[in-house]
């Protein structure tokens, strides 16, 4: 059910469990690594129009699963009550039907969400080694520099400067082949043109 929680809500483990002290104290078996933030999960289910009752029923009726990473085997906790032969057919039918409905409801929620079409926007640079600022202000901290061989960078927005003087472009540039990542603001004075 941990996998379904992530699939339906994108939820990760609560912050308070992501440390050695918590793990040493509370993790007694592999499936104990799965910890829910129940309030957040319930809110995420509610926002997506997913039945909380069905979700938690499926959770209570299915074995806990855990996998350390993509290369490791799945660990299944064999809860005797959940796997008891008596009534297993009815429980399995309910779980299958409910799981399908949960997933379809999530897909409908995603389909109803609207966003602009994705497109890459870029600006061409006047000079090499243009500074990238932490904020839309050329007096803010310089968090990086555009590499000398990079003549244009991808941006997602432009905005007036924090101090009200000038324009800044928000850079979101990833270059896998050149192994660098740029995130921050470039002063409009360093731009030739954009498209």
45: phi then psi, degrees, rounded to nearest 5: -65, -45
193: phi then psi, degrees, rounded to nearest 5: -155, 175
Helix (H, G, I), strand (E, B) or coil at 62: coil
Helix, strand, coil proportions of the chain in percent (round to 5)? 40, 25, 40
58/1 Cα distance (integer angstroms)? 8
Largest Cα–Cα distance in the chain? 75
Within 10 Å of residue 136's Cβ, how many Cβ atoms? 22
Strand runs labelled E in 9-74: 65-66
Contact between 168 and 133 (Cβ < 8 Å): yes
> pLDDT by residue (tens digit) across 19-53?
889 889 998 999 888 888 888 888 988 888 899 99
Burial class (CB in 10 A: 0-12, 13-18, 19+), 76: middle
Helix (H, G, I), strand (E, B) or coil at 7: helix
Domains along the chain with CATH numbers: 2-112 (no CATH), 121-194 (2.30.30.40)
**HSE-up (13 A, CA, CB side) for residue 69:** 1
Contact between 157 and 97 (Cβ < 8 Å): no
pLDDT over 70 percentage in the chain: 90
Q: How far is CA 158 from CA 59, 118, 147, 182, 186, in A?
A: 46, 17, 21, 16, 9
pLDDT tens digits for the chain (195 residues)?
Answer: 555 454 445 556 777 887 889 889 998 999 888 888 888 888 988 888 899 999 999 999 999 988 888 899 999 999 998 889 999 999 999 999 999 999 999 888 888 877 777 778 889 999 888 999 999 999 999 998 888 888 888 999 999 999 888 999 999 877 766 667 789 999 999 998 654
**pLDDT number for residue 194:** 53
């Amino acid at each position: 059910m941990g996998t379904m929680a992530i699939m339906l809500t994108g939820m990760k483990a609560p912050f308070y469990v992501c440390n050695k002290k918590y793990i040493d104290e509370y993790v007694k078996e592999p499936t104990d690594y799965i910890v829910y933030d129940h309030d957040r999960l319930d809110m995420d289910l509610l926002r997506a129009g997913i039945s909380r009752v069905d979700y938690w029923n499926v959770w209570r009726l299915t074995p806990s699963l855990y996998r350390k990473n993509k290369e490791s085997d799945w660990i299944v906790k064999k809860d005797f009550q959940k796997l008891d032969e008596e009534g297993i057919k009815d429980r399995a039918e309910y779980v299958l039907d409910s799981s399908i409905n949960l997933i379809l409801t999530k897909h409908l929620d995603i389909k109803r969400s609207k966003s602009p079409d994705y497109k890459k926007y870029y600006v061409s640079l006047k000079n090499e080694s243009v500074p990238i600022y932490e904020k839309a202000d050329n007096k803010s901290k310089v968090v990086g520099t555009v590499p000398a061989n990079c003549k244009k960078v991808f941006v997602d927005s432009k905005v007036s400067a924090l101090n009200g003087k000038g324009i800044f472009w928000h850079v979101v540039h990833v270059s896998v082949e050149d192994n660098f990542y740029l995130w921050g603001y470039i002063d409009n004075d360093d731009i030739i043109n954009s498209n």
